[in-house]
Structure 1
């Protein structure tokens, strides 16, 4: 039997099928938000906050609008240093158990392969012991590269997300945080030059 990745942080997912998927890959405490039910479930939210304080949380929601709404709602109540955001790439298709694709046509966490999930965790600095970046990318770098403050900055950021296999809805700060987790400043500058 394959060994599961043991995590000390609690993993927050949207639904039971996501939880079932991750249970086969991770040896971790996994909590489901039951989709948008988290918005009304104050006791579950306070439990997530408690877990974040005690052991840290990993948020792994789908890369559609709904997933980002849930992620942002949880993130707004938890200190940044207690959260690791893991993003799955935008993959279009439908889950086997569903008759039709989701509204945005993207696969959710449950539809991802084990390899994609492991790669997403690694990008967020979760599975491996990642050293803290000593020369991180900053908002100033983003501005210098035309990724913020320019006429077509949004399109450029979208191209960066696509090149890095990250979801298109990432905020600028989330994108910077992701990049700092899995590449050096030099690698990022090279990537941006090749996009032009």
Structure 2
């Protein structure tokens, strides 16, 4: 049984989580998160801890940001888009139990205001910004590090808040350079 309560977007996500692991969930009901749901998440965070596990799409990232801003100290699980896509539909509900377990095994805790261990020059040098394939490289790097996909500015912020070390960054970059093998 996972101690923390996993926050997901809907019922189908809860079903997928319960196929993969024994855990309790809170469903946001999609992107229209109301104050009552935020209160439930805040109580869950205080009592047991929370893992935010939203879809790897724009709406899922929006929900993740809203929760993280209103309920500090949440943990985050990210699933690669490729593992959450079936017949063109992107969502946690489409992920295999193995993909869900893998994402939950790589949970990160955010530390708002954390000092960055990687800087913008590192991103430029790694081809993660200002590079013809920067978006694809960030997606691959985000999947390897377990921090998900985002734009360059957000990627730098995630490296900081999840305290990704220089060694982790260099190791992930080497995997990207080798073709993304984990």
TM-score by length of 1: 0.69
Please, which of 60, 65, 85 is the counterpart of residue 76 of structure 2? Answer: 85
- CA gap 1:149/1:156 in 2 versus in 1, 3 angstroms: closer
State the match for 1:114 in structure 2.
Answer: 97
Answer yes or no: is 1:168 the counterpart of 2:152: no
What is the count of residue pairs matched by the alignment? 166
> What SS does structure 1 have at the residue aligned with 2:140?
helix
TM-score (normalizing by structure 2): 0.73
Shift of 1:151: 6.0
- Which of 71, 74, 92 does residue 64 from structure 2 map onto? 71
User: Given that residues 13 and 32 in structure 1 are in contact (C-alpha distance below 8 angstroms), is that contact kept between their aligned partners in structure 2?
Assistant: yes
Asked whether the equivalents of residues 59 and 85 of structure 1 are also in contact (C-alpha less than 8 Å), the reply is yes
Which of 6, 9, 19 is the aligned partner of 2:4?
Answer: 9
SS at match of 1:36: coil
Alignment of 1:176-187 (within 5 A): 180=164, 184-187=168-171
Quote the Cα distance in structure 1 between the aligned partners of 2:123 and 2:43.
39
Q: Is the 8 A contact 2:85 2:91 kept in 1?
A: no
Measured after TM superposition, the shift of residue 184 of structure 1 is: 3.1
Instruction: List gaps (5 residues or longer) in structure 2.
Output: 110-114
TM superposition shift of 1:69: 0.9
Unaligned runs of 5+ in 1: 1-5, 95-100, 127-135
Q: Secondary structure at the match of 1:70?
A: helix
Report how far residue 161 of structure 1 moved: 2.2
The 1-side partners of 2:161 and 2:97 are apart by 23
Counterpart among 18, 28, 48 of residue 13 in structure 2: 18
Native 8 Å contact 2:9 2:27 kept in 1: yes
